[in-house]
């Protein structure tokens, strides 16, 4: 008899940790949960959470490995080519006696150059030409060409540093030679457009389009990909745990309710 009682106590003890979290056996005259009950439930909840630490760690590490492998296998390298231009005025064509007037005209010309090289009239022919060379789109497809133009525009950056007469042009592409070629074409086309639009500006090339350089190190890209995938896998693991525990909580609560009804 004593041995049978011990077995029952041991079995009940195994269920205590989980059942206590989800089921609170109350007297009819004690319907409110006090601070002691909350603290106790928190402690029991932590005990249950410890069961899933290994699972969460496995998902986190697995996500990191998947992200790292993905970055290595499907890596997308980006290259950037830059050019430096200098803007000057033809002092024989305009009045440069006022320094403020000269400065404002130079700034206006530099910003005008930025607008010109970003316009469809400049970008569209370049995008069509490189699309035709690479054969990656149908140049007769207007939507595809417009998408190519938008992508090229997003990868062109023209900056005008304040209080200078310089213009920085940079082009980003997944091919080192192509990004340098596009940068050269953009600069040449922009200068020709400015020369035809005004007779008092001179834009000269200080540094021609450089060879395409990688935007960031391969290691940094792999680390970022690994961290991102690890975070995603961790969130998925937490959702799995939450759904599982909610299911157990519901079943435990229903079982306790039925047991109480039987006793009554």
* CATH number of the domain where residue 179 is located: 3.30.1890.10
69 in the same domain as 83? no
Last residue of a domain, one of 214, 232, 251: 214
210 in the same domain as 113? yes
In this prediction, residue 26 carries a pLDDT of 45
49 in the same domain as 9? yes
Locate 218 and state its tokens: 């391969």
Shortest CA distance to 187 belongs to which of 87, 79, 77?
A: 87
H-helix or E-strand containing 201?
strand 201-207
In this prediction, residue 9 carries a pLDDT of 52
255 in the same domain as 147? no
204 beta partners: 86
Using alpha carbons, list the distances in angstroms from residue 15 to 12, 74, 179, 189, 260: 5, 48, 66, 78, 17
In this prediction, residue 81 carries a pLDDT of 92
140 in the same domain as 24? no
As for how many domains the chain has, the answer is: 2
In this prediction, residue 93 carries a pLDDT of 57
| 76 three-state secondary structure | coil
Terminal alpha carbon distance of the chain:
27
Query: Radius of gyration (Cα) for the chain, nearest Å?
Result: 35
Range of the domain at 137: 79-214
Locate 117 and state its tokens: 């090289």
227 in the same domain as 209? no
Low-confidence ranges of the chain (pLDDT < 50): 1, 4, 8, 10-18, 20-30
163: left (phi over 0), alpha (psi -120 to 50) or beta: left
207 in the same domain as 83? yes
141 in the same domain as 117? yes
83 in the same domain as 69? no
87 beta partners: 203
**Phi, psi of 179, deg, nearest 5:** -65, -35
148 in the same domain as 44? no
**Phi, psi of 30, deg, nearest 5:** -135, 85
DSSP 211: P
89 beta partners: 201
Contacting residues for 23 by C-beta, under 8 A, at least 6 apart: 252, 253, 256
User: Pairing state of beta strands 79-89 and 213-214?
Assistant: antiparallel
83 in the same domain as 67? no
107 in the same domain as 196? yes
- C-beta of residue 123 within 8 angstroms of C-beta of residue 154: no
């Amino acid at each position: 008899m004593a041995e049978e009682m011990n077995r029952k106590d041991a079995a009940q003890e195994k269920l205590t940790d989980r059942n206590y979290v989800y089921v609170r056996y109350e007297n009819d005259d004690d319907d409110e949960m006090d601070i002691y009950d909350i603290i106790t439930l928190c402690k029991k909840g932590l005990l249950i959470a410890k069961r899933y630490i290994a699972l969460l760690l496995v998902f986190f590490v697995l996500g990191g490995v998947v992200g790292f492998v993905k970055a290595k296998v499907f890596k997308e390298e980006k290259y950037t080519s830059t050019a430096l231009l200098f803007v000057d005025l033809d002092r024989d064509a305009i009045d440069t006696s006022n320094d403020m007037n000269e400065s404002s005209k130079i700034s206006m010309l530099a910003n005008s150059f930025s607008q010109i090289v970003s316009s469809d009239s400049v970008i569209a022919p370049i995008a069509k030409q490189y699309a035709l060379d690479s054969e990656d789109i149908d140049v007769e497809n207007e939507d595809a060409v417009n998408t190519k133009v938008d992508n090229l525009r997003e990868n062109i950056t023209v900056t005008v540093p304040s209080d200078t007469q310089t213009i920085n042009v940079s082009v980003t592409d997944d091919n080192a030679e192509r990004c340098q070629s596009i940068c050269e074409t953009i600069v040449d086309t922009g200068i020709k457009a400015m020369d035809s639009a005004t007779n008092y500006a001179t834009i000269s090339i200080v540094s021609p389009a450089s060879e395409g350089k990688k935007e960031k190190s391969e290691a940094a890209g792999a680390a970022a990909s690994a961290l991102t995938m690890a975070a995603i896998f961790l969130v998925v693991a937490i959702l799995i745990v939450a759904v599982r525990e909610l299911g157990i909580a519901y079943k435990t609560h229903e079982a306790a309710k039925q047991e109480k009804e039987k006793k009554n």
